[in-house]
A and B are shown apart, each in its own frame.
Chain A
Amino acid sequence: QKEVEQDPGPLSVPEGAIVSLNCTYSNSAFQYFMWYRQYSRKGPELLMYTYSSGNKEDGRFTAQVDKSSKYISLFIRDSQPSDSATYLCAMRKTGANNLFFGTGTRLTVIP
């Protein structure tokens, strides 16, 4: 079993929709949670970073961590065609240094 699981999609939504992207994990040692956006043929771009449980909002993006369920989410409000990309969740364990990534969810926002 992979330590981080992410539904690969693809996910297609109309412009303006609310998008929900999710990851689950199996190891309770994960304490740092990140979301990256990767456009085609580009490197991942850090979108959001949260520590432990709770919510964090940045513009149209909200990251949510539920450690009791080992479940993290990224919500995108008022989705735009420019949001079309692959979204990767990543996690780090306390005391460790490398990140564990999900396989990514491919999102298309249709104008």
Chain B
Amino acid sequence: EAGVTQSPTHLIKTRGQQVTLRCSPISGHTSVYWYQQALGLGLQFLLWYDEGEERNRGNFPPRFSGRQFPNYSSELNVNALELEDSALYLCASSASGHQETQYFGPGTRLLVL
């Protein structure tokens, strides 16, 4: 069974630019979660999508947004990039109603210069 996949694996952007990260969940999973893992800060919850709807968001500014497609894949968009957005962005998926068992992808490493 294929795991959660993410693309791209690495990305370099400059301040003010915009970026789109992509995630495909495990087959059969309808929930997708996005986390930011900045150096020394641990994983911080960004967004949760389930059945195509945004269900919850963490304490991040509105320039962090996303969506979930009918096939349950998801995109994370970050506008007006700032230096502190440099981090590993992780996507996780779970079966609906099983938020405690989230399975993570390998992440996208974003560097903002």
Q: Please list the residues of chain A having a beta carbon within 8 angstroms of any beta carbon in chain B.
A: 6, 32, 34, 36, 41-46, 49, 51, 88, 90, 92, 96-104
**Residues of B within 8 Å of A, CB-based: how many?**
26
Kindly identify, within residues 27 to 72 of chain B, every residue whose CB is under 8 Å from any CB belonging to chain A: 33, 35, 40-45, 48, 55-56, 58
Kindly identify, within residues 72 to 113 of chain B, every residue whose CB is under 8 Å from any CB belonging to chain A: 90, 92, 99-107, 109
Q: Are A101 and B42 in contact (CB under 8 A)?
A: yes
Q: Are B48 and A97 in contact (CB under 8 A)?
A: yes
**Which residues of chain B come closer than 8 Å to A44, judged between CB atoms?**
43, 90, 104
Residue B21 interfacial (CB < 8 Å): no
Q: Are A46 and B101 in contact (CB under 8 A)?
A: yes
Q: Are B100 and A34 in contact (CB under 8 A)?
A: yes
Q: Are B41 and A99 in contact (CB under 8 A)?
A: no
Please classify the interface of chain B as helix (H, G, I), strand (E, B), loop, or mixed, using the class held by over half of its residues: strand
Q: Are B42 and A98 in contact (CB under 8 A)?
A: no
Q: Are A97 and B101 in contact (CB under 8 A)?
A: no
A80–B43 CA distance with the chains assembled, in angstroms: 26
Which among A36, A43, A51, A90 is the interface contact of B4 at CB below 8 angstroms? Answer: A43
Interface centre among B58, B99, B106 (most CB of A within 10 A): B99
Q: Are B100 and A43 in contact (CB under 8 A)?
A: no
**Which residues of chain A come closer than 8 Å to B58, judged between CB atoms?**
98
Q: Are A98 and B43 in contact (CB under 8 A)?
A: no
Kindly identify, within residues 1 to 47 of chain B, every residue whose CB is under 8 Å from any CB belonging to chain A: 4, 6, 33, 35, 40-45
Q: Take A43-B106, A44-B43, A88-B43 as given contacts and tell me if A98 and B100 are in contact as well, using a CB distance cutoff of 8 Å.
A: no
**Which residues of chain A come closer than 8 Å to B107, judged between CB atoms?**
42-43
Which among A90, A98, A100 is the interface contact of B56 at CB below 8 angstroms? Answer: A98
**Which residues of chain A come closer than 8 Å to B43, judged between CB atoms?**
44, 88, 90, 99, 101
CB distance from B54 to the nearest CB of A (A): 12
Which among B42, B99, B103, B106 is the interface contact of A97 at CB below 8 angstroms? Answer: B99
- Chain A residue with Cβ nearest B3: A43
A98–B4 CA distance with the chains assembled, in angstroms: 18
A102–B43 CA distance with the chains assembled, in angstroms: 8
Q: Are A97 and B41 in contact (CB under 8 A)?
A: no
